[in-house]
Amino acid sequence: MKYIDDELTEKMILITGGAGFIGSNLAFYFQKNHPKAKVVVLDSFRGGEVLSNGNLKSFGHFKNLLGFKGEIISGDINDKELLKKLQNNYKFDYIFHEAAISDTTALEQDLMIKTNLNAYQDLLELAIKHKANMIYASSAATYGNAPSPQRVGREAPQNVYGFSKLSMDYLSSGYMKQAEISIVGLRYFNVYGKREYFKNTTASMVLQFGHQILSKKNPRLFEGSDRILRDFIYIEDVIAANIKAMHPKKSGIYNIGTGKARSFQDIVDILQNELGTSLECEYMPNPFIGRYQFHTEADIVSSKNGLGYEPTYELESGIKTYIPEIKRLFETEVK
């Protein structure tokens, strides 16, 4: 669906992290709905490098961009020479900044702060020089275990990932006071949907449970999963939020969730219903107690007012829409 009337003819759009989950969905949104826009994807793509937790350093994957016809640059946002080239050789109208160490369990504080915060500042400077509106990915991880509903101004990050995103928001708030461009930080809650498969074990539990069920394994949940609640948001609503954020009523930091908390047990039950199974669930102790979010629910009043954002998918309808893709991935990638 097209979310703005402007054709964006000849507009130059940079998407950092464009080979990842959300970035690649944005790239295809523009290709489909605004074919006259010029989209440049910048991503470091996956190499073999892993973090100390065993996960890949970058999850970008060429398969997320199969069929994308715009320009693709393999590069690191920490590379100042590359950013200088982007500044001199292009003139962007919009920057969607999705590139990050997106793994919330990563322990490398040095890499996290450098990549998520310091490189973002360089991109913000580039945006100001180009007079490009900036839309960047913040996160519900900024709230940590702060009480629901989560509201901007009541943050309590529990890990360095959440800290890095909150620091991006603080940095942005300073720039918002003086910059001529609009700057919008989107605090995504738990996003699920197409093109997340290559995030491996950091992909959403919707996908992971879906594949457990399709392989006829009993879904494995943490004990008390009917009481572990999160605000799960479908990718289509996240794309809509990004597009509306291109011309916000006001620069700012906005929650992007449904405004409703649902349990991990709900996910499994909806999936089993959709897939026609009745596998028995297995429950295991939660090893993350103390650094785990037990209840998230976005307060989206200001997002509605400031962006015209309105979530359209309930967990039921989001999963239903996603099921064919979960099945396709199972057939082509998992089996």
Ligand X SMILES: NC(=O)c1ccc[n+]([C@@H]2O[C@H](COP(=O)([O-])OP(=O)(O)OC[C@H]3O[C@@H](n4cnc5c(N)ncnc54)[C@H](O)[C@@H]3O)[C@@H](O)[C@H]2O)c1
Under 8 Å between Cβ of 15 and 26: yes
Please state the closest distance from residue 324 (CB atom) to ligand X, in A: 20
Task: For residues 122 and 133, give the distance between their C-alpha atoms in angstroms, rounded to a whole number.
Answer: 14
In whole angstroms, the minimum distance from the beta carbon of 334 to ligand X comes to 18
Nearer to ligand X, 115 or 251 (CB): 115
Which residue is catalytic, options 161, 192, 197, 234? 161
Instruction: Name which of 206 and 282 has its Cβ closer to ligand X.
Output: 206
Task: Tell me whether residue 136 is one of the annotated catalytic residues.
Answer: no
**Dist CA 301 CA 296 (whole Å):** 15
Sign of CA dihedral 83, 84, 89, 94: positive
Of 37 and 100, which has the nearer Cβ to ligand X? Answer: 100
Give the active site residue among 165, 194, 199, 244: 199
Query: In this structure, what token pair is assigned to residue 141?
Result: 């991880």
DSSP state of 36: T
C-alpha 208: how far from chain center: 17
Question: Closest separation between CB of residue 323 and ligand X, Å?
Answer: 19
Q: Which two tokens stand for residue 245?
A: 């954020």
- Using the minimum distance from each CB to ligand X, give the nearer residue, 93 or 103: 103
When CB distances to ligand X are compared, the closest residue is 20
Q: How far is the CB of 57 from ligand X (least distance, A)?
A: 7
CB 268 within 8 A of CB 274: no
Active site residue 161: yes
Q: Give the footprint of ligand X on this chain (CB under 6 A).
A: 17, 19-23, 43-45, 58-60, 76-78, 98-102, 115, 137, 139-140, 188, 190-191, 199
Pairing of strands 262-263, 229-230: antiparallel
Catalytic residues: 161, 199
